[in-house]
Amino acid sequence: MKRSRINEILMAADDMIRQYGFVLPPFAYWTPKEFKARKDAARNVIDARCGWDITDYGAGDFDRMGLFLFTLRNGRLADLQRGGGMCYAEKLLISRQDQLSPMHTHVIKAEDIINRGGATLVIELFGSDDRGGFAQDKGGAVFCDGIRRDYAPGEKLSLAPGESVTLMPGDWHAFWGEGGDVLVGEVSTVNDDETDNIFREPIGRFARIDEDVDPKHLLVSDYRTWLG
């Protein structure tokens, strides 16, 4: 993805987030220079990989297959493993109309996916085989706003604004906006986007960036390169 396109997506996303009454934390608006100057104080943000995240899954066609995310807070895997402390994470996502977030599951993370506003969020579901792999012929069960719902293989849930679904490790899912763009909330256990996204197809989690202009804000995938 071109950095100029990423900058445009950031600004459009911030506008949409504000439209629905959310405001991002102050570090979201730091320039790269400000982030470098304050990186010691912001070590928890950096290590937890909080911040802006834009992906085209390495496919080079963001409008067809991609996702905007902002990680607001993220806990520690060590706390999750010992069963106490900061065991949770929270994100905002934007799923554009007909923009696919491809079929995947998680090994560790359980998550509530919440339609925070906009159009309909469609989630396609499959179950797992005995090894946790994608199972074309298996369904499962999820909880929609706390109410159990059994799903058949390939069943599509349609979440209107205010509705949610709880997905557990092994629930394979893909999602997209239907009828317009959707602001999505995610509340989960500790999030690790580098190792805990298991895709059905061999695709990348982070975009390759063409630095045609300077970044307006750093992405979480920029932290190692820009901040050391």
CB 135 within 8 A of CB 129: yes
Q: What is the mean pLDDT of residues 136-145?
A: 97
pLDDT surpassing 90 at residue 11: yes
Q: How far is residue 84 from each of residues 68, 109, 150, 190, measured CA to CA in Å?
A: 30, 16, 31, 12
Q: How far is residue 55 from each of residues 14, 48, 203, measured CA to CA in Å?
A: 16, 18, 11
Distance CA(56)–CA(63), nearest Å, equals 8
* pLDDT tens string 178-220: 999 999 999 999 999 888 999 998 887 788 899 999 999 999 9
Q: What is the mean pLDDT of residues 128-132?
A: 93
Distance CA(88)–CA(149), nearest Å, equals 24
Q: Full-prediction pTM beyond 0.85?
A: yes
* pLDDT tens string 161-172: 999 999 999 999
Residue environment code for 21-45, b if the CB has 16+ CB neighbours within 10 A, otherwise e = ebebeebbebeeeebeeeeeebeeb
Closest CA to 205 of 217, 189, 193: 193
Q: What is the mean pLDDT of residues 125-144?
A: 96
**Whole-number percent of the chain with pLDDT over 70:** 100
- How confident is the model at residue 228, as a pLDDT? 78
CATH code given to domain 3-227: 2.60.120.10
- How confident is the model at residue 110, as a pLDDT? 97
* pLDDT tens string 71-92: 999 999 999 999 999 999 999 9
- Each domain of the chain, given as residue ranges in start order, spans 3-227
Q: How far is residue 82 from each of residues 75, 77, 78, 85, 87, measured CA to CA in Å?
A: 13, 9, 6, 8, 10
Q: What is the mean pLDDT of residues 65-76?
A: 97
**Whole-number percent of the chain with pLDDT over 90:** 92
